[in-house]
A = this chain, B = another copy of it.
């Protein structure tokens, strides 16, 4: 294992992706961290960088929550965390601000071609999305069907409703198509999810005007 005590952030980002992929894989067999090209998280991070650079929106991925147990403070060098554990996140992965609107979302991908399994979500994420919706945030999920190379921005309300529906373990592709705005991955930004957000904002304005 190469050490990066003062390593470049690029080197770290790569490492971090690998760790997160490994860590996630242990929990969710459905999630596909494809080695071909970028995975969904990388596409969103790239898009956020583009949106921030162009002053279109400010959205960040939250750091992975870690429970720190033991830290060493060696002389003449940085503090080293010697024992820590992954904690369960109490919120979604992404939030930020766009034209005065609060954005909050989670990104999930599946290799499955016909269904999106709801077990990809944790209950606390569903609760967090519902709390933010109550505060009039723009809340959604980005669902990637990686085997189909199709990406959908689904309003949180649809996910929350399905989650609490008894005996419903997944969304069919048809349901995802009906309830979401599909976005095509491209070059700049890699995943232009704000196009879908624009349509949610328009819908809300029409609803508020009524």
Contact = CB atoms under 8 A, between A and B. Distances in A.
Interface string A80-115: 111111110011000111111110100000000000
A174 B23 CA distance: 50
A74 to B, nearest CB: 12
Contact of A78 (B58, B86, B95): B86
A1 interface: yes
Interface in A34-64: 52, 55, 57-58, 60, 62-64
A84 to B, nearest CB: 4
A4 B69 contact: yes
A85 B62 CA distance: 17
A7 B99 contact: no
A132 to B, nearest CB: 5
Contacts of A65: 63
A168 interface: no
Quickly give the copy total for this chain.
2
A36 B206 CA distance: 52
Contact of A82 (B4, B79, B82): B82
B66 A66 contact: yes
Contact of A66 (B84, B95, B97, B135): B84
A13 to B, nearest CB: 10
A132 B136 CA distance: 18
Given A16-B68, A136-B100, A85 B90 contact: no
Q: Which of A15, A69, A97 has the most CB of B within 10 A?
A: A97
Nearest to A134: B55
Interface of A: 1, 3-5, 7, 12, 15-16, 19, 22-23, 26, 52, 55, 57-58, 60, 62-71, 73, 78-87, 90-91, 95-102, 104, 128, 131-132, 134-137
